[in-house]
Structure 1
Amino acid sequence: MKLRQWITVVALSLLVIATVVGLLLTGTQSVLPARTARKNVQPAIVDQKPLQTARKLAALAVTPEERDFAHEAMRLADYDVDLAFANALREAREHPPTPTAEQRELMARNFKAESVVKADQDLIARLTRQLASAPETTKEDIQDQIDVAKGQLELDQDELDDAKEDLLRAGGNPQGKIQQLLQEHEAGAHADAVSTNGVSSADAEYEAHNLAPQVRAWLALHEKRNLLEGARQDALDKIPVLT
């Protein structure tokens, strides 16, 4: 083998080793802080980690094969999270937790605020019916009463919203909290489409004529393909067997 060929082989070998070490170091740095941070984190009501992981991995999809893996992983993860929400709602409905003293106080405040809002709405409805059949001489007075009642309703509705929010934060309304998370999940589902436009840096390097960029691109694409396949398999393993 000629000297030039030996130099090329050695340089390529060093490049591969350096790239692999870089990937390992990057992975270690990104995982260790996350594990440390989890120590003081309370478990979530609904585990959305499968979908969150699938979303992150979907952003790495470049080739058509990777996009297929990403689409399948997203679909299965979304199904897994939907099942988790359904189970959490059923559990909260069938086995509500015993409220604490603070939660009972907030529940009473919430019930009172709901009653006040209902009374405001009933008053507005009654005055509106009166206005429809009232003589012209009294319509202006009734309309003023309606306007005042609507203003009071806005204030009382704000109080009710605050009471509900405080109750949710205190954990006194598990079903409401799960419903809130479910709405956020459904809203986020509309932004889950994997983009297929543009050429990534990995694509550009893979198409480059120099050997070193092509090796880097190959390693990056291989790593991403493994991550996507792992996410897909993890989602499959989480799906319960329905009988």
Structure 2
Amino acid sequence: GLVSEVLKVYLVKHKKQWDGREVEKIVGKTPLEAAAVIVEDYALPLSKEDFLSEFSPIWCKLKAQPGAYRLIKHLRGHGVKMALASNSPRANIDIKLSYHLTLKESFAAIVASDEVKEGKPSPEIYLEAAKRLNIHPSKCLVIEDSQPGICAAKAAKMEVVAVPSLPNQPHLYTAADEVINSLLDLRLETWGLPPFEDIANFPSLIHEDGELAEKTRELPIYAKYNDDEYFKSIPAPDHHNHLSH
């Protein structure tokens, strides 16, 4: 998964080898909680705060998940209100979104962990997001990649689609209403949202034979979604209130 790949690179600096054994402990946690696990388990010669100051610049510059720009652009174009609810503090969120300005301006509300009493798996952060959107929780669809986030959304009485950040760990995502490999697999009409107009079987262009989208990060679509001409070159077949983690 993405978390493992980034930590693997980072730990080389400290002459440590990432073995993935802590990944279940850190996904979905607040940054300080996750940092404490890594610093302790790998006996790093720095505080959890120092770890975050070194690690955050690497993490913040990561590209969005495959299909993220496509999804957000589509929903925004159809007037669907969106919120971002994250276990990260607001300062971290702002830094991350500074690298993705087109994403930031698409969210009608952003709720950070330091704006509520309890972060995920408490439902508070999602309930606050729904409140800011002025939408009843039962009318919200949440897209999550972590077990704490799924638990938070379900406790808030919302529907949840899981896009696992941890491959080959299906037991962590059983509480979700649906589990998909990639945002490119999302069928919005299933949840009462406007369907994509670009192409019905679009994911087949990105990952064939069931390959996870994480194996295709270098394909043109990932880097070039903002190029509308790229999509116009793909012929579409002839066929008859959302929250983000």
TM-score range (shorter-chain normalised) is: under 0.3
Structure that is richer in helix per residue:
1
The TM-score with structure 1 as length reference comes to 0.19
The TM-score with structure 2 as length reference comes to 0.19
